[in-house]
Amino acid sequence: MSTTVFGTTEFFDTDYASLISTVCSKSEVRSFTKVFLPVAYSLICIVGLVGNIFVVMTFALYERTKSMTDVYLFNMAIADILFVLTLPLWAVNYAADKWIFGNFICKMAKGIYAINFSCGMLLLAFISVDRYIAIVQATKSFKLRARTLAYSKLICLAVWASAILISSSSFLYSESYDFATNETQICDHRFDKTSDSIVLKSLLLCLQVGFGFFIPFVFMIFCYAFIVKSLQQAQNSKRNKAINVIVLIVVVFLVCQVPYNTVLLMAVANMGKAEKSCDSDNIMAYAKYTTETIAFLHCCLNPVLYAFIGVKFRSYFVKIMKDLWCRRYKKYNKRSSRINSDIYLSRQTSEILTDNASSFTI
Amino acid sequence: MPGLSTKSLILASLLGLLLLLLCSTSQAQSNQDCCLSYSKVRLPRKVIKGFTEQLSGEVCDIDAIIFHTVRGLKACVNPKEDWVKKHLLFLSQKLKRMSM
ipTM associated with this complex = 0.73
| B7 and B55 together in one domain | no
Condensed to tens digits (0 to 9), the pLDDT of residues A39-91 reads 999 999 999 999 999 888 888 887 666 677 788 888 989 999 999 999 999 99
Quote the pLDDT of residue A155: 85
Is B66's CB within 8 Å of A181's CB? yes
Tell me: the pLDDT tens digits for B54-88?
988 888 888 899 999 888 889 999 999 999 999 99
> What is the per-residue DSSP string for A257-301?
HHHHHHHHHHHHHHHT-S---HHHHHHHHHHHHHHHHHHHHHHHH
Partners of A137 on chain B (C-beta within 8 Å) are 2-3, 6
CB contact under 8 A, B24 and A170: yes
**Residues 58 to 77 of B: which have CB under 8 A from any A CB?**
58-61, 66, 69-71, 73-76
Q: What is the DSSP string of B6-67?
A: HHHHHHHHHHHHHHHTT---------S-B--S--SSPPPGGGEEEEEEE-TTSSSSS-EEEE
Taking CB atoms and an 8 Å limit, are A167 and B24 in contact across chains?
yes
Percent residues over pLDDT 90 in chain A = 21
Cα B51 → chain centroid:
16
Question: Of A183-192, A220-229, A232-241, which range is least confident?
Answer: A232-241
Closest-CA residue to A360 (of A137, A147, A150)? A137
SS3 call for B92: helix
Span A246-256, mean pLDDT? Answer: 84
For residues B22 and B49, membership in a common domain is answered with no
Contact A20 B24 (CB under 8 A): no
**pLDDT band at residue B17 using 50, 70 and 90 as cut-offs:** very low
Neighbouring C-alpha atoms within 13 Å toward the C-beta of A111? 17
Lowest mean pLDDT segment, chosen from A4-13, A193-202, A273-282, B86-95: A4-13
Chain A CA closest to residue B21: A166
pLDDT score for A294: 92
- Report how far apart the first and last C-alpha atoms of chain A are (Å, whole number): 81
- Structural domain of B59: 35-100
Rounded to whole angstroms, how far apart are CA atoms A349 and A242?
Answer: 8
Q: What is the pLDDT of residue A104?
A: 93
Angstrom distances, CA of residue A51 to CA of A57, A65, A136, B11: 10, 22, 30, 33
What's the CATH code of the domain at A95? 1.20.1070.10
Query: What tens digit of pLDDT does each residue of A303-321 get?
Result: 888 777 877 778 888 888 8
Max mean pLDDT range (A53-62, A222-231, B20-29, B38-47): B38-47
Same domain, B44 and B21: no
On whether both B51 and B92 belong to a single domain, the answer is yes
A92 is in which domain, residue-wise?
26-309
Q: Is the residue at A326 inside a domain?
A: no
Inside any domain, residue A154: yes
A143 pLDDT higher than 80? no
- CA-to-CA dists, residue A96 to A21, A90, A210, A322, A336, angstroms: 29, 10, 33, 42, 50
Inter-chain residue contact B36 with A16, CB threshold 8 Å: no
Q: What is the pLDDT of residues A104-119, one digit of tens each?
A: 999 998 888 888 877 8
Q: Are both B49 and B89 inside the same structural domain?
A: yes
pLDDT score, position B20: 43
Q: How many CB pairs (< 8 A) connect A and B? A: 197
B62 to chain A: nearest residue by CA? A198
Note whether B51 and B2 are same-domain residues.
Answer: no
Number of domains within chain B: 2
Query: Chain B: nearest CA to A25, how far in angstroms?
Result: 5
Q: What domain count does chain A have?
A: 1
Q: Does position A243 have pLDDT exceeding 80, yes or no?
A: no
* Together in a domain, B47 and B28: no
**Which of A10-14, A81-85, A190-194 bottoms out in mean pLDDT, i.e. has the lowest?**
A10-14
On whether both B22 and B58 belong to a single domain, the answer is: no
A2 part of a folded domain:
no
CATH number of the domain encompassing residue B84: 2.40.50.40
Q: Which of A211, A224, A298 to mutate to test the interface with B (most CBs of B within 10 A)?
A: A211
Contact between A141 and A133 under an 8 Å Cβ cutoff? The reply is: yes
If you measure CA to CA, which chain B residue comes closest to A156?
B17
- Give phi and psi for B45, each to the nearest 5: -55, -35
B92 touches chain A (CB under 8 A): no
Nearest by CB to residue B25, choosing from A177, A191, A212, is: A212
| Averaged pLDDT of chain A | 77
Q: Per the CB < 8 Å rule, is B44 touching A11?
A: yes
Residues composing chain A:
362
- Backbone phi and psi for residue A355, each to the nearest 5 degrees, phi listed first: -150, 135
In a domain, A195, yes or no: yes
Report yes or no on A332 lying in a domain. Answer: no
Percentage, residues of chain A above pLDDT 70: 77
Q: Please tell me whether residues B66 and B77 are part of one structural domain.
A: yes
The answer to whether residue A199 sits within a structural domain is yes
- Domain annotation covers residue A41: yes
Do the beta carbons of residue A310 and residue A351 sit within 8 Å?
yes
Going by C-alpha positions, the residue among B32, B98, B47 that lies closest to residue B77 is B47
Tell me if A59 is assigned to some domain: yes
